[in-house]
Amino acid sequence: MDATGIHERLKARFEVGVGECNSTAKDPCITIDPAAIAAVCRFLHDDPDLRFDCLSNQSGVDYKAKEQIQVVYHLYSYPHRHRIVLKVDVPRETPALPTVEGVWKAANWMEREIFDLLGVTFDGHSDLRRLLMPEDWIGHPLRKDFVEPEEYHGINTSRESLLR
Amino acid sequence: MSLSGFEVEVQRQGHAGLETEEMTLNMGPQHPSTHGVLRFVIKADGEVMREAIPDVGYLHRSIEKISEKVGYHGFMPYTDRVDYVAAMFCNQGWSMACERLAGIEVPKRGEYCRVIAAELNRISSHLLFLGTMILDIGAMTPFFHTFREREKINDLLEELCGARLTYNYMRIGGVAWDLPPNFAERTLEFLDALEPALDEHNDLISYNKIYVERLANIAVIPPDLAINYNLVGPNLRGSGVHYDIRRDEPYSVYPDLEFDVPIGTGEVGTVGDCFDRYIVRVHEIKQSVRILRQCFQQMPTGAVIAKVPRKFKPPAGEAYVRIESARGDMGWYAVSDGSEFPYRCKIRTGSFSAMSIIDRVSPGLMIADLVALISSLDVVAPEVDR
């Protein structure tokens, strides 16, 4: 099923929460409201005509100029061999949205990574801890305004100290 | 007390005083079987694990953040470090993402050079897998055999691009250099020798009784669970899912090439056990040999790289490409804001999802079988942490 068809199915099923569909993009995408994302994903996963059984990729992008963080879901269906991209915009100050871990287990670690690197909170996540950075790290490195700390546990991190 | 007396005593008192305590063990970060720097916290009751919690991040080098600072061309050598065992695929993933962003078409000969380099790298990566997996299980000798063959590929690739591991061979729009003189002859000579070496390997170890018993029916991953955890590539095929990006979502010149997609059949145990994940890779080497032979026959003459401006500024937009790397479906998500630096690059790797499933599969396994599980998933730690 193509992006327009998937969008129509979603529109018919959900009265609110399903936004615009960009079907001319290289990877056609649908914008979803944060509050609706878990229910939309559940529907996309379970519906026999859609059967998006694979969360191929989940990532976050910091759009600082728009004061938004966008969480992007690349979905793929092994039975139907079709794909769709979902995009959820959350405010940069208080980024929070429901987890989709209950739909795809793969989301567990991907959401932990987004939490770690971009500071997005996933409500209902079973184990929302940092994944890649040290537990006591301050800040979220993939944010556009992240400033590298000058030292970490007494280790100087400046370029000058490394080149000396 | 007689034995029957003991049983009466147990019935009367229940198992009070006989229960064992849960132990918490640490494995890694520097452990030979963890394939890089990676740590597990194991909760075990005697030899049986209740839980194995992976602790990753030791090799996090912020490669995605670096992409935002070095520009599109400049990021290519960094992609090598994502998965240094199969760096050609990282080169290819990044080039394809950029080409998709800017709508660049790679010359046919360039695509063939890419496939030749990538398939050689797939063989070398799988040979490393075979050697280290068997080493982890406890057999030393086959490791030297597979590494002997792998060295020959390193020599070939060194001739091709000057590096043995971190190739930096591909460019946006094609590859850096055409094949060196007599490369085809030398590669075909190597492939002719590889096939009997692989049969010898199978005779020596693949169906060895002790080896099979260490792997059969261990850590079975059913297909629906594998898909739910986004397991990819040989791990997914080991679970019996007949899917390969090269065949099912073809890119490059793969539609012109003939090859089979081997899957796990449970030939010594259950579909999706450690042995299936192992044997799938042995069969894949043979398919790569087939692909390489066809490439050298079909390869046209001509340019190997398209004209791409030195100051590469793709139009604003985003692209997601998936390629079949040695560790399976590798996703490259690139966002451009129209400037000469990528706005965001996200790399979704096969080892990442493979690592996340260990938590789920490990309960009830023996500690020694965790080693078999980790190596059968062919996890490469730098690819998890990036």
| Cα–Cα distance measured from residue B260 to residue B283, given in angstroms and rounded to the nearest whole number | 9
pLDDT in tens, B97-116: 999 998 898 999 999 999 99
| Cα–Cα distance measured from residue A69 to residue A62, given in angstroms and rounded to the nearest whole number | 5
Q: Which ranges of A3-146 would DSSP assign to H, the alpha helix?
A: 3-13, 37-46, 107-118
Helix, coil or strand: residue A30? strand
Please report how the helices B274-298 and B108-137 are oriented relative to each other, as an axis angle in degrees rounded to 10. 150
pLDDT in tens, A8-56: 888 888 888 888 888 788 888 899 989 889 999 999 999 888 889 999 9
pLDDT exceeds cutoff 70 at B11: no
| Look-up of token digits 């004061």 | A67
Among partner residues A26, A59, A142, which is closest to B319 by beta-carbon distance? A26
Q: Is B243 within 8 Å of A54 when comparing Cβ atoms? A: no
A158 found inside a domain: no
The residues with which B219 forms a beta bridge, in sequence order, are: none
CA angle A110/B373/A115 to nearest 5° reads 15
In this prediction, residue B30 carries a pLDDT of: 75
In this prediction, residue B33 carries a pLDDT of: 63
pLDDT in tens, B26-56: 887 877 666 677 888 888 888 888 888 888 8
Name the burial class of residue B7, with classes exposed (0-12), middle (13-18) and buried (19+) by CB atoms within 10 angstroms of its CB: exposed
A155 found inside a domain: no
Q: Which residues contact A65 (CB under 8 A, 6 or more apart)?
A: none
Query: What are the distances in angstroms from CA A162 to CA A155, B159, B375?
Result: 10, 33, 35
pLDDT exceeds cutoff 60 at B1: no
pLDDT exceeds cutoff 70 at B78: yes
In this prediction, residue B9 carries a pLDDT of: 65
Domain that residue A9 falls in? 3-145
Looking at chain B, the whole-number percentage of residues with pLDDT higher than 90 is: 33
Do B33 and B371 meet the contact criterion of CB atoms below 8 Å apart? yes
In this prediction, residue B15 carries a pLDDT of: 63
A157 found inside a domain: no
Pairing outcome for strands B174-175 and B170-171: antiparallel
Question: Most A CBs within 10 Å: which of B58, B100, B225, B229, as the mutation test of the A interface?
Answer: B229
Instruction: Count other C-beta atoms under 10 Å from residue B199's C-beta.
Output: 12
- Averaged over B225-253, what is the pLDDT? 90
Query: What are the distances in angstroms from CA B202 to CA B111, B144, B285?
Result: 33, 14, 12
A86 found inside a domain: yes
In this prediction, residue B267 carries a pLDDT of: 84
A107 found inside a domain: yes
Regarding pTM above 0.95, the answer is no
- Averaged over B82-93, what is the pLDDT? 90
Q: Is B331 within 8 Å of A105 when comparing Cβ atoms? A: no
- SS3 letters for chain B? CCHHHHHHHHHHHCCCCCCCCCEEEEECCCCHHHCCCCEEEEEEECCEEEEEEEECCCCCCCHHHHHHHHCCCCCHHHHHCCCCCCHHHHHHHHHHHHHHHHCCCCCHHHHHHHHHHHHHHHHHHHHHHHHHHHHHHCCCHHHHHHHHHHHHHHHHHHHHHCCCCCCCCEECCEECCCCCCCHHHHHHHHHHHHHHHHHHHHHHHHCCHHHHHHHCCCCCCCHHHHHHCCCCHHHHHHCCCCCCHHHHCCCCCHHHCCCCCCCCCCCCCCCCCHHHHHHHHHHHHHHHHHHHHHHHHHCCCCCCECCCCCCCCCCCEEEEEEEEECCEEEEEEEEECCCCCCCEEEEECHHHHHHHHHHHHCCCCEHHHHHHHHHHCCCCHHHHHC
The alpha-carbon radius of gyration of chain B (Å, integer) is 23
What ipTM does the predicted assembly reach?
0.87
Among partner residues A57, A78, A142, which is closest to B348 by beta-carbon distance? A57
pLDDT exceeds cutoff 90 at A163: no
A162 found inside a domain: no
Token pair of B26 as six digits:
């640490």
Neighbour order of strands in the sheet with B317-325: B317-325, B328-336, B344-348
Confirm or reject contact between B227 and chain A (CB < 8 A): yes
| Cα–Cα distance measured from residue B211 to residue B155, given in angstroms and rounded to the nearest whole number | 31
In this prediction, residue A10 carries a pLDDT of: 85
Q: Which residues of A touch B352 (CB under 8 A)?
A: 109
pLDDT exceeds cutoff 70 at A61: yes
pLDDT in tens, A101-158: 889 999 999 999 999 999 999 998 888 888 898 888 888 988 988 888 888 888 887 7
In this prediction, residue B89 carries a pLDDT of: 92
A32 found inside a domain: yes
Average pLDDT value over all residues in chain B = 87
Do B358 and B381 meet the contact criterion of CB atoms below 8 Å apart? no
A43 found inside a domain: yes
Which amino acid is residue B385, in one-letter code? D
User: Nearest CA to CA, how far is B332 from chain A (Å)?
Assistant: 9
* B13 pLDDT tier (thresholds 50, 70, 90): low
Q: Which residues of A touch B64 (CB under 8 A)?
A: 117, 142
Looking at chain B, the whole-number percentage of residues with pLDDT higher than 70 is: 94
Which H or E run includes A56?
strand A54-63
State the total domains in chain A. 1
| Cα–Cα distance measured from residue B205 to residue B208, given in angstroms and rounded to the nearest whole number | 5
Q: Which residues of B touch A102 (CB under 8 A)?
A: none
* CATH code assigned at A69: 3.30.460.80
Residues in chain B: 386
| Cα–Cα distance measured from residue B287 to residue B279, given in angstroms and rounded to the nearest whole number | 13
In this prediction, residue B266 carries a pLDDT of: 83
pLDDT exceeds cutoff 60 at B3: no
pLDDT exceeds cutoff 60 at B363: yes
In this prediction, residue B24 carries a pLDDT of: 85
What counts of helices (H) and strands (E) characterise chain A? Answer: 4, 9
CB pairs under 8 A between A and B: 81
Judge if the upstream peptide bond of residue B29 is cis by omega within 30 degrees of 0: yes
In this prediction, residue B346 carries a pLDDT of: 92
Q: Which residues of A touch B56 (CB under 8 A)?
A: 131-132
| Region of residue B76 (phi > 0: left; psi between -120 and 50: alpha; otherwise: beta) | alpha
